[in-house]
Amino acid sequence: MKAVAAFDYGPPEGYTVTELPAPVPGPGQIQVRIAAASVNPADVKVPSGEFRRDFPLEFPYVPGNDFAGTVSEVGPGVDAYRVGDEVFGQAVPRALKALAGPGRVSLGTGSLAEYAVYEADTPFIAHRPAGLDVETAAALPTVGLTARALMAAAEVPAGATVLVVGATGGVGTTVVPLLAKRAKVIATATPADEELLRSLGAASVIGYDPAGYPSDVDVAFNLVLPGDRLAALGAALRPGGRLVTITFPVTQPESLGRTDVDLRFVLDMEGRFGGMSEVAEAAVRGELDVTVGRRYTLDQGPQAIADFAGRHTTGKLVVRM
């Protein structure tokens, strides 16, 4: 099969498209013929070597978490899927198994390839409904799960003023419309993205400079800044305001310079707020959507990851096989 692969630790500029043996499903696993995949931060960070001490990789390493495709082979003991089923979902690299949670883990061989193998018994993979097209299904898993978890964990009061930092990314463009249904959303973006953010429901759009952050915000969402660099965002909150963040390192209260902030770190590796079936149902009902910013072919896969790492991107980057 053709696949995007890293042959050593390093930046995505070193990735290449190569021929590799197609992975074979074992007991409890399915092989999927990938139709499309989307790019996530792990596709940059894991092969970079940032985690090599705790989670060493075997090379060649195929990146890719989110996918949509067709079941092409079923391993022993799998009853929920048959060859020909349309599926979509998310899986973490097998090297990161320890981070996948103690429950029904979702592990994969890398979706930026013509074929990948996944654990079948997990809430993070589901049948793709007819009302969900392949590109949307490939772009939606991580951002859909994250947006749902954020909305559940943040408990945004009706009528609240909300500041979203990182609003133009995959998670941001998915969560802003959800927030806009119940709150006044102030979003950070470049001038080029202002029209998009307003179309998604943002009441106002500001630049990235923390000096321009408003004051007396009820809830602030950090979707992109390092978790130890949020003092300026914390300062934008009213007394007793809430800061919701998804980035590492996990934010510590003392790093905010104030003690009256309701600090909530959101990472749902076990599907506590619902899995892929719930994401699919919400998407088909029109309650959950994703913005696709750029599209690439498999041969352009390394460029897609390099663009994600080094360029300003809007929404999700999707790779078609």
Q: What is the percent of the chain with per-residue pLDDT over 70, rounded to a whole number?
A: 99
pLDDT at 268: 83
Q: What angle do CA 5, 82, 274 make, to 5 degrees?
A: 75
Paired tokens of 133? 């097209």
State residue 243's pLDDT score.
98
CA torsion angle for 315, 317, 318, 321 (degrees, to 10)? 180
Tell me how far apart the alpha carbons of residues 228 and 247 are, in angstroms, rounded to a whole number: 9
**Token pair listed for 284:** 């088909």
Angle at 29 between CA 68 and CA 66, to 5 degrees: 25
Token pair 């390099």 in the structure block, residue? 306
Q: Is the pTM of this model over 0.75?
A: yes
Q: What is the structure's pLDDT at 101?
A: 67
Using DSSP, state whether 163 is helix, strand or coil. Answer: strand
Q: How confident is the model at residue 123 (pLDDT cuts 50, 70, 90)?
A: very high
Stretch among 1-10, 45-54, 167-176 having the lowest mean pLDDT? 45-54
Paired with 89 in beta bridges are: 67, 125
Which long-range contacts (C-beta less than 8 Å, at least 24 apart) are formed by 158-161?
Answer: 158/182, 158/183, 159/183, 159/184, 160/184, 160/218, 160/219, 161/186, 161/214, 161/216, 161/217, 161/218, 161/219
pLDDT band at 293 (very low <50, low <70, confident <90, very high): very high
**229 burial level (CB within 10 Å; 0-12, 13-18, 19+):** middle
Mean pLDDT of the chain: 95
**Amino acid type, 3:** A
Q: Is the pLDDT of residue 96 over 90?
A: no
Distances (CA, A) of 129 to 87, 121, 280, 282: 8, 18, 7, 11
From 65, 84, 62, select the one nearest 4 (Cα to Cα). Answer: 62
Looking up tokens 């792990």, which residue turns up? 42
Residue of 3, 2, 139 whose CA lies nearest to 61: 3
Whole-angstrom distance between the N-terminal and C-terminal Cα of the chain?
11
